[in-house]
Amino acid sequence: MANIINHKEGTPTVFADTTDYSATNSGFTRTDQLDLTSIANNAARESTKADLGALRARLYAVRVGIEYDVSPTAGTTSEFYWSASFSATAAVGNDGDVSGADSAFNASSEDEWKKQLIFLGSLINTADAATTVQYQTVGYFTPPHRYGQVIVVNKSGQAYEGDAVEMFVALVPIIDEIQ
């Protein structure tokens, strides 16, 4: 009898703001800090460093929820990146000059530094603003190291919403199970 390989979802690593985020609409419980409040057009934000575990999934789905203060032009994007690291220490071993803390990412040099990061995907925007959270699975990736952090680059032409209640980036483990 041949074996089959099934895929199941593991427990997500969810980057969101500790002071504002509510899991009511997304269904994801926050695990790591990322404050996406009022991120300006062409600005970027990095999360705290996360630990995906010594034993982790080979593949992760990247699901995001972003809300804009003013309607962006349909077809513009928000970009998502991963800074891999071999170290648990915040400022050690990070790709792309990432600090490992929830903070602005290389202000005025975002487009230069993001080239050293792993591209996770882009949220393709609709022309909707406040009260409409735009959800999308933007891609899949395989983390090369146990540790890392998410970087979000706003290329929408508009600022993000003035609160981070429904904004998040979730890394959902896709686990292979042989039966």
What average pLDDT score do residues 15-39 get? 96
The predicted model scores a pTM of 0.96
- 12 pLDDT more than 70: yes
From residue 145, give the alpha-carbon distance in Å to each of 29, 55, 81, 105, 149: 23, 11, 14, 21, 11
Segments making up each domain of the chain, as ranges: 5-178
What average pLDDT score do residues 56-84 get? 97
Fold of 5-178: Jelly Rolls (2.60.120)
What average pLDDT score do residues 69-98 get? 97
What average pLDDT score do residues 170-175 get? 97
The DSSP annotation for 75-104 comes to: T-EEEEEEEEES-SSTTSS-GGG--SSSEE
Identify the band that residue 1 occupies on the pLDDT scale cut at 50, 70 and 90. low
